[in-house]
Amino acid sequence: MKTPVKSISYVARSATFSISIFVVMLMFSFIGYQIMKMNLLKNAQSFGDNLSRTYSLEQQSNFEFYSVLLSFGVTIVDNSEPQEIEEKMMDFFRQMQNLLGDKTIDPYLVSKDSVVALNPWDGDDTYDFSSAVWYRQAMENPDSVIFTEAYTDAIYHKPVITIARKCGTGAVLAFDIFSENIRFSSNIAGKNKEISFFLCDRQGTLLFSETAREYPQGVVQTYIKGLFERIKKNELAGYATSVVDMDGEKRGVYYYEMPNGWISILTIPFSLILRDLDSFVWLFCSVVVLLLVGMAMVTWRNICNQRSIARTNEAVQALGNRYYAIYRVNYAHERYEIIKCSDSMRSRLPQSGPYADLLQVVCGELQAEFLQEYLDKFSLSSIRSHVAHRIEDFGGDFRLRMGNVCHWGSVRAIHFDSMDSQEVIL
């Protein structure tokens, strides 16, 4: 029979053990919560940075296209007789309108004695263009396409960006792009009503915004100006940093700065980023024991898988080290892709390109007496013929120059049924 002291001691030990298990579970739950939160925030940062970069590049591509059109228009002016300029430019403006849409840009040509515009405005004959920022910049940079910062248009009193270039005749061709006409190929907020997107110039002036709710322009501009200043101070670079939006909600901020200084900004509510984390907390509390066992099993499996992957990678790397160079050749599209090559070859070849370029560079490494044999075996027609006859491995030995020394080298082309039927490994 147990004495009371021993019973108490046993109960205490049992209670201590249970409490220890409970504390350990709480510790694991807290660590798991923090790890999931960190990963969700990092994934959100990666997603936000990539998406803001995508939309920045889209807008950058648009402006590069506008620059090409502007330069083309300047060429028309410089190669036309004075009496032909107005007619040709009006035709050019109409073609642009058909290509880009009615309100995307507002083009016009300004000279000392006339204005040629697709959409003429009241007072254009008395307006002093020489005082305009875009006109002065174009005159100061006669061989370049200039981009202004956002400013208030003197005619329409709306925010506008102007790109312009001086013609050889002394006239200036300009395109006005009103911020209200800036568009993107897809609806950002439409994908998720809680995500907001903003575009501002290098002074922090708002050019474009897309949010779930409508806000007064002044409120949005003040909000974006604050974000812009914090971005410039590098205060929002961390994955866990946040701001409070116009509704008092905590948001992550992700951005991309274009070469011209413009910044695209994407904000995502933390409640959206961490939405799945709340479900995890309830699930963890209800099935904590099973979860711990499952985590142990998954961890062990991952360790085993990692070891297996590491061994596989070592084997693949060892096999790859046996070869001086490896290329993937699509003989149907007549293109190559570099898998592995020497530094000297990489300096002369892009990562991928026409197969003819690869053939030319490789032939430059061969001794002259082996050149014709190599062309006979590795021309595209020869490769197609070997594949058609289901020859999986073909090639030969050649004398190759590796630096200042010539060596014998074996060049093989390999094709397996498991590969793309239009590709070989060279």
| Structural domain contains residue 24 | no
For the chain, 426 residues long, the average pLDDT of each consecutive 10-residue run is 45 54 72 83 88 86 88 90 88 88 84 81 69 88 87 79 90 86 66 82 86 84 91 88 88 89 89 79 67 55 61 64 79 83 78 83 79 82 82 79 74 73 78
């312009």: which residue's tokens? 164
Q: Look at residue 104 in the predicted model and tell me its pLDDT.
A: 81
| Structural domain contains residue 53 | no
Could you tell me the two tokens for 59? 């807008």
Euclidean distance between CA atoms 151 and 160, whole angstroms: 6
| Structural domain contains residue 189 | no
| Structural domain contains residue 90 | yes
CA distances from 21 to 14, 35, 61 (A): 11, 21, 59
CATH number, position 121: 3.30.450.20
| Structural domain contains residue 247 | no
CATH number, position 393: 3.30.450
Euclidean distance between CA atoms 325 and 202, whole angstroms: 46
Q: Which residues contact 264 (CB under 8 A, 6 or more apart)?
A: 52, 53, 55, 56, 59, 197, 198, 199, 255, 256, 258
Question: Based on the number of CB atoms within 10 Å of its own CB, is 314 exposed (0-12), middle (13-18) or buried (19 or more)?
Answer: exposed
Give buried/exposed letters for 37-57 (b at 16+ CB in 10 A, else e).
beebbeebbebbeebbbebbe
Which structural domain, as residue segments, surrounds residue 129? 84-181
Q: Look at residue 11 in the predicted model and tell me its pLDDT.
A: 41
| Structural domain contains residue 420 | yes
- Number of folded domains in the chain? 2
Phi, psi of 370 (to 5 degrees): -100, -5
Q: Look at residue 129 in the predicted model and tell me its pLDDT.
A: 80
| Structural domain contains residue 92 | yes
The full DSSP string for 147-192 is EPPPEE-TTT-SEEEEEEEE-TTS-EEEEEEEGGG---SS-HHHH-
Euclidean distance between CA atoms 277 and 44, whole angstroms: 13
Which among 181, 208, 224 is the end of a domain? Answer: 181
Question: Based on the number of CB atoms within 10 Å of its own CB, is 68 exposed (0-12), middle (13-18) or buried (19 or more)?
Answer: exposed
Question: Based on the number of CB atoms within 10 Å of its own CB, is 378 exposed (0-12), middle (13-18) or buried (19 or more)?
Answer: buried
Which among 134, 149, 181 is the end of a domain? Answer: 181
pLDDT tens digits, 259-292 = 888 899 999 888 888 887 777 767 767 766 665 5
Q: Look at residue 254 in the predicted model and tell me its pLDDT.
A: 92
Q: How far apart are the first and last CA of the chain?
A: 83
Which among 161, 181, 201 is the end of a domain? Answer: 181
| Structural domain contains residue 366 | yes
CA 416-419-422 angle, 5° bins: 95
pLDDT tens digits, 172-226 = 999 988 877 787 766 655 566 788 888 888 888 888 888 878 888 888 889 999 9
Q: Look at residue 166 in the predicted model and tell me its pLDDT.
A: 92
Give the DSSP H/E element, type plus range, for residue 254: strand 250-257
Phi, psi of 284 (to 5 degrees): -65, -40
In this structure, are residues 20 and 249 in contact, taking their beta carbons and an 8 Å threshold?
no
